[in-house]
Amino acid sequence: MAQTLRFGPLGRDTLHLCIDMQRLFGPGSVWAVPWIEQVRPMVATLVAARPDRTLFTRFIPPPRLDAAAGTWMRYYAQWPQMLRERLDGEWLELLPELARHVPPAKVIDKAVYSPWHDGSLHRLLRGAGVTTLVVTGGETDVCVLATVLGAVDLGYRVVLVSDAICSSTDGGHDSAMTLYRDRFSQQIETAPLAEILEAWPAG
């Protein structure tokens, strides 16, 4: 299926939701996503073009192992160096070329893959009249997946910027993109950055 905005241009009810583009997943981190270096320029271009219509999520690990819930305790037992009691807080920050746009861009923190977990993001977006989400960031098959499926359930129009999302694995990325395009074709669109910018008027 073609990657294009099948349901028309993007209006003033559109927000760029940028997922977890943090130092935590950049070079030098044990959680580094190699592809993040490839998509950084595209993400930065979109943020710079619409800073006042951008919201970043940040993935924030728990302070200690005993603060992790359920199977997250097993997860962080595998990655104890990522607990905040051991982790330099600078690793949680956005990549520098993105952080400089805050404000006007906004930031919300989350402790799990999905940003919808506690309902605050949905309330914020609805209060701002947002009905369409342009999604970038990582990972395609983890936090982006959780974000996209939650947005679909809540009725948002979801547009994935196909050259501005990344994963640690080619197989996971390709499988998730196929899922988005083929199984959710009435609720998820995928389009390259150039088309997004052309279809989304500034101001």
Residue 202 confidence (pLDDT): 84
pTM of the prediction? 0.96
For residue 193, count CB atoms less than 10 angstroms from its CB and return exposed for 0-12, middle for 13-18, buried for 19 or more: buried
pLDDT > 90? residue 110: yes
Tell me the CATH number of domain 14-199, given options 3.30.420.610, 3.40.50.2300, 3.40.50.720, 3.40.50.850.
3.40.50.850
pLDDT band for 18, please (50, 70, 90 cuts).
very high
Percentage, residues of the chain above pLDDT 70? 99
Taking CA 128 as the corner, what is the angle to CA 102 and CA 176, rounded to the nearest 5 degrees? 75
pLDDT, tens only, 39-62? 999 999 999 999 999 999 999 999
pLDDT band for 3, please (50, 70, 90 cuts).
confident
Domain ranges within the chain, ordered by starting residue: 14-199
Q: Judging by DSSP bridges, how do beta strands 106-110 and 132-138 pair with one another?
A: unpaired
Section 127-141 average pLDDT:
97
Section 141-169 average pLDDT:
97
Kindly report the average pLDDT of the chain as a whole number: 96
Which residues are bridge partners to 138 per DSSP?
Answer: 166
Question: How far apart are alpha carbons 130 and 53 in whole angstroms?
Answer: 10
